């Protein structure tokens, strides 16, 4: 099993029984496909935080979905910041 598959399997486990919107958003937090170790660390930190939040908040809601979506947007910004030449 590849690292990406193992991360996806972990996401499936942590989202088991959750709302489909939560399941779908968590798929975008995989990071093992990123080859640059520094960028992988940045994306991985965001993925870990998303998992921590799901462990803390057990009730699915629109606010939880929105929070995860915004964290996903922030992850993208953090990764771009890590590769920015300025």
Tens-binned pLDDT, residue by residue, of the chain (86 aa): 456 667 778 888 889 999 999 999 999 999 988 999 999 999 999 999 999 999 999 999 999 999 999 999 999 999 999 998 87
Q: How many CB atoms lie within 10 A of CB 75?
A: 21
For residue 63, give both structure tokens: 């606010």
Q: Where is 18: in which H helix or E strand?
A: none
Supply the pTM of this predicted model: 0.86
């Amino acid at each position: 099993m590849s690292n990406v598959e193992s991360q996806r399997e972990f996401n499936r486990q942590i989202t088991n029984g959750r709302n489909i919107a939560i399941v779908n958003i968590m798929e975008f937090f995989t990071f093992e496909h990123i080859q640059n170790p520094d960028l992988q660390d940045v994306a991985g930190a965001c993925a870990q935080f998303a998992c921590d939040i799901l462990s803390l908040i057990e009730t699915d809601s629109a606010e939880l979905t929105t929070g995860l979506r915004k964290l996903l947007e922030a992850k993208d910004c953090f990764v771009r910041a890590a590769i920015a030449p300025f």
